[in-house]
Amino acid sequence: MDYFGLLAALSLSIGIVLGAVGVLRLSQAVLFDESTSWSWTSYLVALVVCVAILFATISRIRKGTLQKS
């Protein structure tokens, strides 16, 4: 069995989650440091970054590599 792919996927998933939390904390500390009605925008910034990473990842997948067996 190929455990290296599973280990790589697990490591990448943990890294993306930690990166998203880091972006969230950075936006809370730097951009929106006061507790106002705009406090939800930190979460929006983190969500936009995660969606951008998702689209960049999906755009790198080629159809030809999915059909190999």
What's the confidence (pLDDT) of residue 65? 65
SS (H, E, C) the chain: CCHHHHHHHHHHHHHHHHHHHHHHHHHHHHHCCCCCCCCCHHHHHHHHHHHHHHHHHHHCCCHHHHCCC
> pLDDT (tens digit, 9 = 90+) per residue, 4-63?
888 988 998 899 899 999 999 988 888 777 767 878 888 998 899 889 988 998 888 777
**Both structure tokens of 54:** 């998702």
Show me where the domains of the chain are located.
22-28+36-59
